[in-house]
Structure 1
Amino acid sequence: MTVRISAPSGPFRDAGIEALREGLTRRGLLGCGAGAAGAVLLGAAGDARSQDAVQPHALAEFFQGHQVAGAALSPSGERVAVLLNIGEGGARRMAVDLIEAADPSGPRRRVPVGDFDVETLAWANEQRVMMRLVIPVTAGGNTPTGRGIANRTYELQSRRVVSMDLETGETALMFGDERVRMRESLNLGHIVDYLPDDPDHVLMAAREFSGLMALHRVNVNTGRADLVERGSQLTLDWSTINGVPVMRRDISTRGSVINIFVRPDGEGRWRRAWRQPTAQVALADFIWIGAAERAGHALVAARIEDEDVLAVRELNLDTLEYGPPMASRAGLDVSASLVDARGRYMAAAFYAPRLEYDFVDSDLGAHHRAMNGFFGNECNVVLANADAAHNRFIIRASGPRDAGSWYLYDKAARHFEYLGARTLLDTRRLAPAEAVQVATRDGASIEAYVTAPPGGAPGPVIALVHGGPESRDVLGWDRQAQVLAAQGWWVVQPQFRGSGGYGLAFASQGWKRWGDRMQEDVEDALAQIIRDRGLDAARVGIMGTSYGGYAALMGAVRRPDLYKAAISICGLGDLGDALAYERRDDESADGFVYDYWTSRIGDPRTDGDAIAAASPRLRAAEIACPVLLVHGVDDPIVQVHQSRGMNDALQAAGKPVEYVEVPGAGHADWEDDVEKDLMERYVALFSRAFA
């Protein structure tokens, strides 16, 4: 299969197009995200020597903000909207470019949006787009204190949804005629259903003054909202089939459990179909997809009974019975699904280790493989939008050397049109990454992702451990890994036993093994990479967030001879204390959340000694390297007292420790300016340790 491409201008443009004439499937022609740097041409093997003289990006350049924030395809597939920042000198000034899909290289209509952070962009109909704006708001004022009155102000984030007519530039604010709600509510809802059969309306979930979450039918031309139904104060959102709400997601009173309710016809009693701990929502065992072909049924991805992997299947909304797997892979969980502009199921997505689809229409598989070849098989090629005819697609490509770039793909014309890149980072100055298989000390095999610094010179190495622990990394864009690699350091991301995404059997091999097997897998990955790549075994660091923060601390306890610095971000220090907190906080009548965590960490009644031995706070005296602790004060997943207690224990033991609290932040959810300052601290600590 061959395609035409309209590439961005740049010094490699002509060479890139000439090479593409030889066919998409030839490997190594273009680096992932080549458009962001002007179609950068690489050697067939990605020769690292060509990068020896290239200067890596400075840390601050990784935090310059978005250039293109997104792209969307209209329901008919005839028009494309591209959201971009046209501000200069670091200023933010958002605009939407309108492109006719039949002539993507032709003139664009540019419609200004303004100085707003825009979270989402989607089409409401063929003329209007919907955008969710984030607007800073100053709150506070005169506050009584022990010494009188003090004026204290602070900044909050307000969210509003607007529609914009791309022909006239005219806008409408959703709920805009409700002045009290506009004044009192920080978050005025999110879109649940774009209603393809009703182009003048969308369904939105928004809270009422009572605190109840309610579903509204909102006119996109005027912003007027009409109530459809009310949920409860615990309701988060709904999902629909043909505009009818048939699934509702609620959070428990204390926020520890997500409950999923369904009903077959949009009326009658809601019944619980699934529940899971909130802390594990990032790797759900239940994913809503949409309508099934049979009435009264929905498509979901679920792991049921004793099955190993998450698979696509039908759910009978009346009987709550599940059908057999329709899409599944041995040893890999479904990670997402693809639906078209009308919500029809097209494919299941898997990471193996890059994104792959199992399509309903097998012909689309050949096109997706060709797309991967176009990006040198270095990207995760996401089909972000598909028209109803399955002919035009918005492609979002991202990879180790691409923070995100957008393309329009026309299947009939076999044509790629470059739409823009998220950042101005030069792919030639970024670090390549690859997946390797690691042999563990007990004869098993795990996957690890290795990021080499630009140029690939041997040097120090850092283990970057993911959270969860039943989550996983993918071979894609990772800003932390890129910043560390830009310093000349290698980065290893082990997918240790206990990780999610590889099936329940793989995850369960880490249950109650937090202090030994899961740590050993990290150590074995480091040892193999250090040996095979000739890296500096005397300069090794470890860092991570959430479970990864725990792993950094426990690694420093276990291997004071190995790690020269450890960084824990929102990490656990005391497993026994964490279990006691979950027991106190578990509002489920059957102890569902507490039982979940005792099955993963251990039961204090029978595993007390092992839990204590796997708690870094209780073994702080064994840590030899400097430690940096970071925690959000309002973290609802790992409470801030975990890092406070770890800090106290390290100080009491006379160990070098630095502790940073982020006020107003939750579970590592701070803004980019905070992350930039923290990354500077991380780099400074490792630099001192590796000196």
Structure 2
Amino acid sequence: MHMPQPLKRALKRTAHAAVLGLALLGAASQAESPPERVPPVPLEFFFQHARTLEAKLSPSGDYLALTTSHGSDRVALVVVSFKPSIQAQRIAHYKDADVIDFHWTSDQRLVFSVGDLKDDANADEYAPGLIAMDRDGKNQRLLVKRQAQFVTGGGADRSLEWNHMLLWSLQNTAAEIPNEVIVGRLNFSGDRQLQSVTPLWLNTETGRTRNAGVLGAPDNVQQWLFDNNGQVRLAIALDKGRVSAHWRDLKAENTWRTLFDTPPLEAPFDPIAVDTQGALYVNTNTGAQGEAELKRFDFSSGRPEAQAIVSTPGFDFTGRLRMEAGQLMGVDVLTDARQTVWLKPELKALQALADEKLPGRINVLSCRRCSQADAVVLVHSYSDRSPGEYWIYRAAEKQWETIGGVRPEIDPRRMASVDFQRIKTRDGRDMPVWITLPQGVKPGKPAPTVVMVHGGPWVRGGQWEWEPMEQFLASRGYLVIAPEFRGSTGYGAQHYRASFKQWGQAMQDDVADALLWARKEGLADPERACIAGASYGGYATLMGLIRHPELYRCGVSWVAVTDLPLLVEGSWRVNDDTGNFRKYGMADTIGRAKEDRAMLEANSPVHQAARLKRPVLLAMGENDVRVPLAHGTRMREALEKAGNPPQYVVYPGEGHGWRKVKNRVDFAQRVEAFLQQHIGNAP
């Protein structure tokens, strides 16, 4: 479950890097043409760690850093040097922790955070620590402690306490700020909710801190925006149920200008970036269907400019600005797939070169000296059927070098294709739907189907890329339908706001309409369908079996919200991390604890368990603080009382999802057997 936008932005916390994956020594993916019939792809291939989580060029482009699990059950940090020849050195590798995020601070030095991908998924959310190290593995210094300490720093111990997190690091070398980053000190209220974040400059060599220039800033700032030189330019505060944005005027010392002050759901724009000239770029919902458009902010009028820089009809602008030395070079844009719109001819030429070299794929460029004749380019190339490959291109030599496959064990020829459609819901709304089509399905021969409901619900569900669970199900012969039901973000404010107070109601009908559409199109077997999902998706799975029992034979629900009154009211006996959202957002988006009690109970699986007659696989994380275990135990007890006991599993040490590979594999095995039993489709 996630908080809605823009409340989520106002409450934003630094997040762990997503697992992207790349294998330094892995083989490149093979041509994507269908293979001969062979046994199913091993289940473990989909759920083990990707060979590498992330890759980044150094400021000069002479070095590449990457996090990889190659040859180990722990994620390590590796530095690759390209001159005079390719050489790799593992510089950080720990027995009881994984490197989960890293940044270059110069060509010589990196900073990185650690977590435990084998242990509690909540343990490092606020305390991943921060360590600095030279690219050769020397001069290690512990900058920020972890709550679970595992490593000591060099020299005098100036390390900060666990409640400090990295906020900003240089993307390009700046001689006037050598090896410094900005960290934020997280300040909590008495009920353990994040109250404010205080930014500090931190020297990665000495461990010394200094003020980040926030005198005169408002109280309760939870998010800061910096320019390319690390200057604080904008503060977003959440105080007494209102969100406000404040601009720092560098010409007038300690002077802050309020740009807006509204209830969280009424914020007029979302700040995105600041360039070296002091231009502020914002997202604002001014499209025909309330789609977010990228604009510059006009300080003279006090509002975003009328003309959009980037507009994507049918989609919110979702992406990032590509800056080099603070200059706007291009814009990443996500519609049904990701692409980069480059503003400079040299970069357009590099993109065209990569697309010609690697056709039929999304080719994401990250470069150094991007517009120069000696540009160095890192290319992440992927598709719906391929987790991807990484390449290096050197413009001066016109030379391509393959770094390796993201998941070299995955053969793209054996993966499913992903399609994007827009359909009409029963009340006439436009709804995007993702379809993962297994191989071997022919027109007129509909496949057994899994309707996959994404979590959130106020997030975007999919894009054109390889996704492990959906590809796993497709590899077992199931058609996977993933609707972007109302409330899904990325498709305009109208689509998002249509979800308010519609849990289990119109939102649930949207999910059903996606399956009905697929049946009408001859894609989905009209007799064999199950529904599945996690978090909100787990809730929608249970409510789907209650509201539309004629459509589904079974449901797979994990880390699911099951009791809406418990979610909205909270309980002193049930620990969760949704206090701020409960206080400032749930009344408008889900419902009010007293006034809407009847509606909340009518749409709570726990309270409606007697109506749920279909088989259920229900799984929970023992240490989940987003959707606590109480939701699972109450649902299990309610189903047992109703005479329909679920298949029930609780994973010790897990939080809101499965971090441990053994648990991901175990759960997938349970899902495979459960679906085979109820809509049987052995490949």
Match of 1:114 among 93, 111, 115: 93
Say if 1:97 and 1:109, in contact at 8 Å, map to a contact too.
yes
Aligned match of 2:291: 309
Question: Superposition pairs for residues 464-475 of structure 1, below 5 Å?
Answer: 464-472=452-460, 473-475=462-464
Letter paired with 1:330: P
Match of 1:360 among 343, 349, 356: 343
Letter paired with 2:418: A
Distance of 1:460 and 1:530 partners within structure 2: 10
Is residue 2:558 matched to residue 1:569? yes
* Shift, 1:462, TM fit: 0.6
Say if 2:416 and 2:439, in contact at 8 Å, map to a contact too.
yes
Deviations 1:151-175 (A, max 9, x none): xxx9879744344433x54233153
Aligned in 2, Cα 1:347/1:165: closer, same or farther, shift over 3 Å? same
Say if 2:319 and 2:334, in contact at 8 Å, map to a contact too.
no
Unpaired runs of 5+ residues, structure 2, are: 1-21, 144-152, 190-195
Distance of 1:665 and 1:243 partners within structure 2: 37
Distance of 1:574 and 1:155 partners within structure 2: 25
Aligned match of 2:112: 131
Aligned match of 1:515: 504
Aligned match of 2:321: 338
* Shift, 1:502, TM fit: 0.7
Other structure's SS at 1:506 match: helix
Aligned match of 2:234: 247
Deviations 1:401-460 (A, max 9, x none): 333432234567665432223323222333332223334444544322111334447642
Say if 1:122 and 1:130, in contact at 8 Å, map to a contact too.
yes
Distance of 2:321 and 2:356 partners within structure 1: 20
Question: Superposition pairs for residues 621-632 of structure 1, below 5 Å?
Answer: 621-632=610-621
Letter paired with 1:245: V
Deviations 1:344-381 (A, max 9, x none): 333333322111234333664565466456544343x3
Say if 2:47 and 2:468, in contact at 8 Å, map to a contact too.
no
Other structure's SS at 1:340 match: strand
Distance of 1:651 and 1:276 partners within structure 2: 46
Aligned match of 1:172: 140
Aligned match of 1:540: 529
Aligned match of 1:38: 28
Other structure's SS at 1:571 match: coil
Aligned match of 1:495: 484
* Shift, 1:466, TM fit: 1.1
Aligned in 2, Cα 1:240/1:437: closer, same or farther, shift over 3 Å? closer
Aligned in 2, Cα 1:257/1:490: closer, same or farther, shift over 3 Å? farther
Aligned match of 2:280: 298
Is residue 2:530 matched to residue 1:554? no
Deviations 1:257-298 (A, max 9, x none): 9876542339526676578999x9xxx996543323643x42
Aligned match of 1:614: 603
Distance of 2:483 and 2:352 partners within structure 1: 27
Aligned in 2, Cα 1:519/1:200: closer, same or farther, shift over 3 Å? same
Greater alpha carbon shift after TM alignment, 571-580 vs 469-478? 571-580
* Shift, 1:94, TM fit: 4.8
Is residue 2:176 matched to residue 1:201? no
* Shift, 1:306, TM fit: 9.7
Greater alpha carbon shift after TM alignment, 70-79 vs 330-339? 70-79
Distance of 1:433 and 1:384 partners within structure 2: 25
Match of 2:416 among 413, 426, 431: 431
Distance of 2:258 and 2:288 partners within structure 1: 20
Aligned residue pairs: how many?
623
Greater alpha carbon shift after TM alignment, 543-552 vs 381-390? 381-390
Deviations 1:514-562 (A, max 9, x none): 3343223322322333454554332211111222122111111122222
Aligned in 2, Cα 1:371/1:470: closer, same or farther, shift over 3 Å? farther
Aligned in 2, Cα 1:92/1:267: closer, same or farther, shift over 3 Å? same
Identity across the alignment (%) = 25
Say if 2:293 and 2:311, in contact at 8 Å, map to a contact too.
yes
Letter paired with 2:165: G
Aligned match of 1:449: 434
RMSD value over aligned CA atoms? Answer: 4.5
Other structure's SS at 2:451 match: strand
Aligned match of 1:505: 494
Is residue 2:49 matched to residue 1:65? yes
Distance of 1:289 and 1:208 partners within structure 2: 22
Is residue 2:251 matched to residue 1:268? no
Distance of 1:396 and 1:574 partners within structure 2: 42
* Shift, 1:607, TM fit: 6.1
Letter paired with 1:290: A
Question: Superposition pairs for residues 90-101 of structure 1, below 5 Å?
Answer: 94-100=77-83
Aligned in 2, Cα 1:39/1:178: closer, same or farther, shift over 3 Å? closer
Other structure's SS at 2:387 match: strand
Structure in which a larger fraction of residues adopt helix: 1
Say if 1:64 and 1:423, in contact at 8 Å, map to a contact too.
no
Other structure's SS at 1:389 match: coil
Distance of 1:246 and 1:189 partners within structure 2: 19
* Shift, 1:657, TM fit: 1.5
Aligned in 2, Cα 1:219/1:630: closer, same or farther, shift over 3 Å? same
Letter paired with 2:679: F
Distance of 2:333 and 2:631 partners within structure 1: 34
TM-score, normalised via structure 1 length:
0.76
Question: Superposition pairs for residues 212-231 of structure 1, below 5 Å?
Answer: 214-228=198-212
Aligned match of 1:11: none
* Shift, 1:190, TM fit: 1.9
Deviations 1:299-339 (A, max 9, x none): 23343799812222234689964333322222211212132
Aligned match of 1:29: none
Aligned in 2, Cα 1:453/1:234: closer, same or farther, shift over 3 Å? farther
Say if 2:29 and 2:405, in contact at 8 Å, map to a contact too.
no
Say if 1:334 and 1:348, in contact at 8 Å, map to a contact too.
no
Unpaired runs of 5+ residues, structure 1, are: 1-31, 44-49, 140-153
Distance of 1:442 and 1:633 partners within structure 2: 39
